[in-house]
Amino acid sequence: MIDLKPLHSFGLSAMADSISEIRDESLLSRLPVFDTPFIILGEGTNMVFVEDFSGSILNILTKGVEIKEQENQFLISVKAGENWHCLVESLLDKGIYGLENMALIPGSVGAAPVQNIGAYGIEFKDMCHSVTTFDIKRKTWQTYTREECCFGYRDSIFKSHEKQFEVITEVALLLPKTWNPNLNYRGLDTLPLGCAAKDVFNRVVEIRQQKLPDPKKIGNAGSFFKNPIISFEKFKSLQEIFPDMPFFNAENEDGKIQNAIKIKVPAAWLIEQCGFKGKHFDGIGCHQNQPLVLVNKGSGSGVSLLTFAREIRSAVLQRFGIQLENEVRLIGRNGVISL
Ligand SMILES: Cc1cc2nc3c(=O)[nH]c(=O)nc-3n(C[C@H](O)[C@H](O)[C@H](O)COP(=O)(O)OP(=O)(O)OC[C@H]3O[C@@H](n4cnc5c(N)ncnc54)[C@H](O)[C@@H]3O)c2cc1C
């Protein structure tokens, strides 16, 4: 049996039947066809094992970065087991810019396309050239173009049930040589226009360290819920009752609200309004600085996490008529479960 506690950042106690560490891609084609539940694990920062997992885990640990210089851009191919933040930092040190707004997002490069990671106005899809996978059931390789990945807000084709046997082995990123800083996001807008990419990187790291709990110190999986996206009509009716409700244009966070069809509302605000900020229940807490982050105070269990998260979700539904969706992947005995 394998102890999963150190393998996921929320740090709940759970066990698994077996784990295979993949340090060499060629091993993938030699894996047996799994007849038990099966999941792919990166660094476990977006997954919570809420009970023992009775199946097999593939932990992707392949390493390697290849940089090809083209006329106006760099094409960077990265193996799935590289750490995302280390990649951002090492490219910056080489004078290759464009990822700095996504500094300090925990986890592996291979998981980045799965939920189309994003922060401070930039998403993985903005730099994605292609994603290569190996289907361990069919034993086939496939390379997806950016369009074929069907990226959305914290979403991609790789989250679908049909892709559950596809291991992302490599991603390719395109980073233009001409760097245009994206300083529109709150916190970065005070940087001078002529600032360097390193300044943006440092600022992002500074803000994130202030706002988000460090999973090495207190178990968490980042934002537990997605920011809900609602229709413009629903937003207008809510705004009459809650005039202070913050909002963004869901299609373009810098865009004008008048042209928006869909509106994104910060889940953190909704949760705070329902009185959960700083509250805790049976070893699980709602973080004091960022109520969107649920934390494991050390003694939390899968049952207490699910109970608390459901309580938050139903309070938000009751007060605002908005159904929160979990961003983290909850893993039960047989695989992904819904909240
Ligand atoms: C403190 C904190 C802050 C965070 N901030 C952000 C943020 O700002 N923005 C953001 O978008 N996310 C954020 N996250 C979430 C997390 O960092 C990302 O989702 C990250 O991409 C997860 O990487 P991982 O390697 O830990 O993936 P895991 O948790 O191991 O896996 C996540 C999902 O990807 C799948 N997966 C992993 N590797 C592969 C692979 N090689 N092939 C196929 N599928 C795979 C898994 O099966 C699972 O479904 C945060 C998390 C924490 C703890």
Residues 97 and 151 in one domain: yes
Helical axes 84-93 vs 197-211, angle rounded to 10°: 150
Residues 120 and 190 in one domain: yes
In the chain, how many domains are there? 3
Residues 23 and 80 in one domain: no
- Indicate which CATH number applies to the domain containing 88: 3.30.465.10
Among residues 59, 83, 105, the one where a domain terminates is: 59
Residues 53 and 87 in one domain: no
Pairing of strands 53-60, 38-41: parallel
Residues 280 and 164 in one domain: no
Residues 154 and 101 in one domain: yes
Residues 29 and 160 in one domain: no
What pLDDT, on a 0 to 100 scale, did the predictor assign at position 35? Answer: 77
Residues 106 and 242 in one domain: no
Tally the residues of the chain: 339
User: Exactly one of 56, 108, 130, 223 is catalytic; which is it?
Assistant: 223
What pLDDT, on a 0 to 100 scale, did the predictor assign at position 103? Answer: 98
What pLDDT, on a 0 to 100 scale, did the predictor assign at position 131? Answer: 98
Cα–ligand 1 centroid distance for 196 (angstroms): 28
The pair of three-digit structure tokens given for residue 88, joined into one six-digit string: 């951002």
User: Exactly one of 9, 56, 108, 154 is catalytic; which is it?
Assistant: 154
Q: What is the 3-class SS of the chain, one letter each residue?
A: CEECHHHCCCCCCCEEEEEEEECCHHHHHHCCCCCCCEEEECCCCCEEECCCEEEEEEEECCCCEEEEECCCEEEEEEECCCEHHHHHHHHHHCCCCCCHHHCCCCCECCCCCCCCCEECCEEHHHCEEEEEEEECCCCEEEEEECHHHCCECCECHHHCHHHCCEEEEEEEEEEECCCCCCCCCCCCCCCCCCCCHHHHHHHHHHHHHHHCCCCCCCEEEEECECCCEEEHHHHHHHHHHCCCCCCEECCCCCCCHHHCCEEECCHHHHHHHCCCCCCEECCEEECCCCCCEEEECCCCCHHHHHHHHHHHHHHHHHHHCCCCCECCEEEECCEEECC
Residues 77 and 207 in one domain: yes
Regions of the chain short of the pLDDT cut 50: none
- Indicate which CATH number applies to the domain containing 36: 3.30.43.10
What pLDDT, on a 0 to 100 scale, did the predictor assign at position 185? Answer: 86
Owner of token pair 């008048």: 258
For the question of residue 327 being annotated catalytic, the response is yes
Residues 243 and 120 in one domain: no
What pLDDT, on a 0 to 100 scale, did the predictor assign at position 184? Answer: 87
Residues 224 and 202 in one domain: no
Owner of token pair 């004078």: 95
Residue 40 belongs to domain spanning: 2-59
For the question of residue 311 being annotated catalytic, the response is no
Among residues 155, 186, 211, the one where a domain terminates is: 211
Lining residues, ligand 1, CB within 6 Å: 9, 39-47, 60, 80, 105-108, 110-112, 114-115, 117-119, 158, 167-168, 212, 215, 220-222, 329
Residues 87 and 116 in one domain: yes
What pLDDT, on a 0 to 100 scale, did the predictor assign at position 259? Answer: 60
- Indicate which CATH number applies to the domain containing 300: 3.90.78.10
